[in-house]
Copies of this chain bind each other. A is one copy, B any other.
Amino acid sequence: MNLKNKSIVVLLSGGLDSSTVTGIAKKSEAKIFGLSFDYGQRHKKELNSASIIAKHFDIEEFKIIKLDLSLWGGSSLTDSQKNIPIEGVQANKIPNTYVPGRNTIFISVALSYAEAIDADFIGLGVNALDYSGYPDCRPDYIKKFQELADLANKRGRENNPIKLWTPLLDLNKEEIIKLAFDNHVPFDKTWSCYSGNSKPCGKCDSCRIRNAAYEKWLNNKNKK
């Protein structure tokens, strides 16, 4: 995908994945417009990381949108009465950290922003190998959202649709960590933990997946 001088809206949460997408876009010399959400998440501190990554890559514009999904909760990330699971990812089970409709909302808002500034791409850090099993991170969902985008706006109706760009979709977490370092992502500045504590908890799915992959990546690197 040639992104040189193309405008791209990146959904930048401040986590490893979206920071890596930002790094890849930067290396490709795209014009990057970062978009974060203050949605009532427990781990609001990820927004600090998003700001740091935005500055680090000197992107064109960085916006934080307020949209309070804790108004109806339905997830342990937006409802403090629910506990973050620490028993590890269960096969074929959607954990309670799943936030109803979150990615659908975020991509929709990105689509609005992209259309208004005439951007050609929306960059997403979704991946469906080492992940928490969320329905809105899977390849069939992303494909369907592209079909929707093709109908949802002027650009789509004029056969010049805004394209969803998901460079991490089929990668495992170790490969993503490698890409992060290859693309100058300040790894230690990204924030993946679901808890809002000062240090990553090490127990939530997000920490477990990240830490296990980091160990693996480090071992493989040291072997060489």
Name A's B-contacting residues (CB within 8 A). 63, 65-69, 71-74, 94, 98-105, 108-109, 111-113, 115-117, 135-136, 138, 140-141, 144-145, 147-148, 151-154, 156-157
Contact = CB atoms under 8 A, between A and B. Distances in A.
A109 B65 CA distance: 14
Contacts of A105: 105, 108-109, 112
B151 A74 contact: no
Given A113-B72, A115-B74, A116-B73, A104 B136 contact: no
A198 B135 CA distance: 45
Given A68-B66, A148-B144, A153-B135, A104 B100 contact: no
A138 B113 CA distance: 21
A144 B145 CA distance: 9
Contacts of A140: 151
Given A71-B65, A112-B69, A117-B72, A101 B152 contact: yes
Contact of A148 (B67, B102, B109, B148): B148
Nearest to A110: B101
A152 B104 contact: yes
Contacts of A144: 144, 147-148, 151
Of the listed residues A109, A117, A138, the one surrounded by the most CB atoms of chain B closer than 10 A to its CB is: A109
Contacts of A71: 63, 65, 113
A36 B119 CA distance: 28
Contact of A94 (B103, B104, B154): B154
Contacts of A66: 66-68
Q: Kindly list the 8 A-B residue pairs having the minimum CB-CB distance in the complex, ordered from nearest.
A: A101-B112, A74-B116, A100-B115, A72-B116, A104-B108, A105-B108, A108-B108, A100-B112
A140 B147 CA distance: 11
A60 to B, nearest CB: 13
Contacts of A94: 154, 157
A112 B106 CA distance: 11
